[in-house]
Structure 1
Amino acid sequence: MKCRIIVADDHPLFREAMVRTVQRVLPGACVEEAGRLDEVIALAVVGDVPDTLILDLRFPGLADIASLAQLRRQWQRTTLIIVSMVDDPVIIEQVMATGVDGFIGKSLGADEIGAAILAIRQGDVLVRYLPSGLLPSLDAEQGVEQLTQRQQEVLQLIAQGKTNKEIAKELDISPFTVRIHVSSLLKALNVSSRTAAAVKYTGS
């Protein structure tokens, strides 16, 4: 069965860019577009069940975050990916709690968005975005001392070899929030892995 993907966004330019990104990373996919929720539903009831729905968080017809949980129940076999400019970790955690498969920030580059889509479709529960309004921007020369207090706490536990689940329990926060902090501190330290971040921490 041919892979069927719906890209749902009311901004034509972003929707077209997302369609091109999907077609590039999944060249065999059948990619369809929608600008309103009723269009999504009309597409979904015709033919095969959509393999993936890429949905803007602030989408015409989507009343609130709770509506995502209803979509999740309706389309249990569909990979549900939310895209948004939102960079508030509390809102993102609420979105992920509805049972969607991933959250991708619109501020990411096309290659990063493409890679995130592939990872989510392969089963990763992924949160990936640029927290522009959340954390201080650090250049490559700045170090651990420039991180926020919470980031430093997460980094210390990473250096101790703890998993995200263990860090969440230690700090009494959700695993999704831990994942957001880990992603942010990796970007802040200009490193690509937890191991490299731990090295910077132990060398600070």
Structure 2
Amino acid sequence: MSCRIIVADDHPLFREAMVNTVRRLLPHAQLEEAGSLQDVLRLASEGEAPDTLILDLRFPGLTCIGRLAELRRQLPRTTLIIVSMVDELEVINEVMAAGADGFIGKCVSPEEIGAAILAIREGEVVVKYIPSGLLPQLGVDSELEQLTHRQQDVLRLIAQGKTNKEIARELDISPFTVRIHVSSLLKTLNVPTRTAAAVKYSGN
């Protein structure tokens, strides 16, 4: 089944790489490229609404998070995937709160980017990025010390078997923020799952 996918990035090399990645994943998709927000709006207004928009956060015309929220309202049926070099938790949380369906850091591997795109298109809320400034991982104690106080709170509640929604209620934060904290702490602890993180916490 064919679908329209717009890849919007003002850097031609990254745009080409993303187009090639999506083409390998979805060979029957109709791929279109945009180098500015004006191009995105023009393409989106032609024919049926695009199935997916893969959009660089630092994009000409996308002047603020509010503009992103406005774009979300203009394309209510389009899967909106944000890609960026940004690795600041607060910014990523704002992006998700503005209505993005997923966030992918440009520093993750092409394989991870591809897997994240497919998961987001299937309806999963995915936040995939590599936090900067991580210290070398020298063992469980040093790994746990690298976690922020909020990440330690989240990990403690994970170890108690609580779901993201339950953690969000207990810490009075959004489920999106919990998901981002979980992704970050898994990366810091160098473990693939919540269960493995809980085992490290419990064994400390």
Rounded Cα–Cα distance in structure 2 between residues aligned with 1:103 and 1:58: 13
- Partners of 1:179 and 1:52 lie apart in 2 by 22
CA contact (8 A) 2:144 2:189 kept: no
Give me the TM-score of the superposition, normalised by structure 1: 0.93
- How far 1:78 sits from its partner (Å)? 0.6
Q: CA RMSD in A?
A: 1.5
- SS state of the match for residue 90, structure 1? helix
**Does residue 151 of structure 1 match 2:151?**
yes
Query: Which of 123, 137, 140 is equivalent to 1:139?
Result: 137
Structure 1 residue 107, shift from structure 2 partner: 1.0
Letter in 1 for 2:146: L
Equivalent pair of 1:51/1:78 in contact (CA under 8 Å): yes
Deviation, structure 1 residue 88:
1.1
Take 1:155 and 1:145, find their aligned partners in 2: how far apart are those partners?
Answer: 10
Asked if 1:11 is matched to 2:8, the reply is: no
Report the TM-score, using the length of structure 2 for normalisation: 0.93
C-alpha change, 1:29 and 1:39, in structure 2 (3 Å) is same
8 Å contact kept, 1:140–1:190: no
Larger mean CA deviation between 119-128 and 39-48 belongs to 39-48
Structure 2 CA distance for aligned equivalents of residues 122 and 168 of structure 1: 24
For 1:108-130, what per-residue CA distance to the aligned partner results, in whole angstroms no more than 9, with x for missing partners? 11011111111110001221111
Deviation for aligned residue 1:47: 2.5
CA distance in 2, matches of 1:80, 1:3: 14
Q: Hey, what's the Cα distance between the residues in 1 that align with 2:79 and 2:67?
A: 16
Distance 2:144 2:112 in 1: 28
Change (3 A) 1:6 1:142: same
1:120-139 alignment runs, 5 A limit = 120-133=120-133, 136-139=134-137
2:135 and 2:146 in contact (8 A); partners too: no
Deviations 1:72-128 (A, max 9, x none): 111111101111111111111111111121111111110111111111100012211
**Separation (CA, whole Å) in 2 of partners of 1:18 and 1:131:** 21
Give deviations 1:23-81, integer Å, cap 9, x for gaps: 11112111111101111122112222210000111111112110111111111111011
Residues 191 and 197, structure 1, Cα contact 8 Å, conserved in 2? yes
